[in-house]
Chain A
Amino acid sequence: MGRMYAPAERKQDTAAGREPGFFRMLFMRQEIAILIPFVLITLFFYWRNAAMLSPLSISTTLRTMSFPGLIGMGMVLLMISGEIDLSTGAVISLTAVFAAWLMKTMALPVSLSVLLALVLALLVGLGNAWLTVKVGLNSIIATMGMQFVARGVSYSFTSGVPIYPLPESVAILGNLRPLGLSFTFFLMLALVVVIQIVLNQTRWGALIYATGGNRMAAEMCGINTGRVKTVCFMLTSFFAGIAGLLTMSQMPIPSGDPIFGRNIELDIIVGVVVGGVSLFGGRGSAIGTLLGVLLMQVVRSGLVIAGFDAYWQIPALGALLMAAASVDVIRNRSRER
Chain B
Amino acid sequence: MFEQTKGENNVAKVDISLIGCHHARGHHRQLCRTGRGSTRRRVKRVSLGGESGGQITGTFYWIQNTAWHPVHQLTQLSFLEGCADQGLTCELATTDEGSLEAFLALAEQTVARPEARGIAMWAGGLPAVAPIIEKAKARNIPVALPHFPVPEGTFADNAVQIAADTSKYPDDIAKAMCDRLKGQTGSVAVTQNGPNATENAVAEGFTAGMAQYCPDIKVLDPQMEGAEPTKAIAVAVSIMQANPDIIGALSTTGGGPTTWAGAQKETGKEIVAIGMDYTRVNLDLVKSGQVYAIVAQPLYDESKGSAELLFKMANGIDVPYWTVLDAPVVTEKDTGEYYALLDRMESKMRPTPAP
* Interface set, chain A 238-279, CB cutoff 8 A to B: 247, 250-253, 255, 257, 259-264, 267
Residue among B230, B290, B349 with the highest chain A CB neighbour number at 10 A: B230
Residue in chain A with minimal CB distance to B72 = A160
Determine which of A54, A250, A261 lies in contact with B241 in the assembled complex, contact meaning CB atoms within 8 Å: A54
* Interface set, chain B 273-295, CB cutoff 8 A to A: 279-281, 284-285, 288, 290
- Do A252 and B262 contact each other (CB < 8 Å), given the known contacts A57-B241, A60-B234? yes
Q: Is B281 touching A159 in the complex (CB atoms < 8 A)?
A: no
CB neighbours of B290 from chain A (8 A): 252
Min CB distance, B43 to chain A, in Å?
Answer: 37
- Which one of A32-40, A229-237, A299-307 is at the B interface? A299-307
- Do A261 and B266 contact each other (CB < 8 Å), given the known contacts A51-B241, A252-B285, A255-B281? no
Q: Is B239 touching A105 in the complex (CB atoms < 8 A)?
A: no
In whole angstroms, how far apart are the Cα atoms of A159 and B348 in the complex? 10
* Interface set, chain B 180-196, CB cutoff 8 A to A: 192, 195
Contact pattern, B 286-307, Cβ under 8 Å of A = 1, otherwise 0: 0010100000000000000000
Determine which of A101, A252, A255, A297 lies in contact with B265 in the assembled complex, contact meaning CB atoms within 8 Å: A252
- Do A304 and B258 contact each other (CB < 8 Å), given the known contacts A56-B241, A247-B229? no
- Do A306 and B68 contact each other (CB < 8 Å), given the known contacts A157-B352, A158-B352, A261-B228? no
In whole angstroms, how far apart are the Cα atoms of A251 and B264 in the complex? 11
Residue in chain A with minimal CB distance to B262 = A252
Residue in chain A with minimal CB distance to B353 = A157
- Which one of A218-226, A308-316, A329-337 is at the B interface? A308-316
* Interface set, chain A 55-71, CB cutoff 8 A to B: 56-57, 60, 63-64, 67
In whole angstroms, how far apart are the Cα atoms of A157 and B352 in the complex? 5
Q: Is A262 touching B228 in the complex (CB atoms < 8 A)?
A: yes
- Do A51 and B244 contact each other (CB < 8 Å), given the known contacts A155-B68, A252-B265? yes
The 7 A-B residue pairs with the shortest CB-CB distance, nearest first, are A252-B261, A304-B238, A305-B242, A64-B234, A301-B238, A160-B70, A262-B228
Binding site for B on A (CB under 8 A): 49, 51-52, 54, 56-57, 60, 63-64, 67, 89, 101, 105-106, 152, 155-164, 247, 250-253, 255, 257, 259-264, 267, 297, 300-301, 304-307, 309-311, 313
CB neighbours of A255 from chain B (8 A): 281
CB neighbours of A267 from chain B (8 A): 231
Q: Is B266 touching A60 in the complex (CB atoms < 8 A)?
A: yes
Min CB distance, A2 to chain B, in Å?
Answer: 26
Min CB distance, B248 to chain A, in Å?
Answer: 17
Determine which of A49, A259, A307 lies in contact with B228 in the assembled complex, contact meaning CB atoms within 8 Å: A259
- Do A304 and B265 contact each other (CB < 8 Å), given the known contacts A160-B68, A251-B229, A255-B281? no
CB neighbours of A164 from chain B (8 A): 281
CB neighbours of A157 from chain B (8 A): 352-353
Q: Is A260 touching B280 in the complex (CB atoms < 8 A)?
A: no
Q: Is A251 touching B262 in the complex (CB atoms < 8 A)?
A: yes
Q: Is B224 touching A310 in the complex (CB atoms < 8 A)?
A: yes
Residue in chain B with minimal CB distance to A314 = B224
Q: Is B73 an interface residue when CB atoms closer than 8 A count as contact?
A: yes
Min CB distance, A140 to chain B, in Å?
Answer: 19
* Interface set, chain B 225-249, CB cutoff 8 A to A: 226-231, 233-235, 237-239, 241-242, 244
Q: Can you report 7 A-B residue pairs in the complex whose CB atoms are below 8 A from each other?
A: A57-B241, A160-B350, A257-B229, A259-B229, A259-B255, A300-B234, A305-B238
Min CB distance, A165 to chain B, in Å?
Answer: 9
Residue in chain A with minimal CB distance to B192 = A310
In whole angstroms, how far apart are the Cα atoms of A41 and B255 in the complex? 30
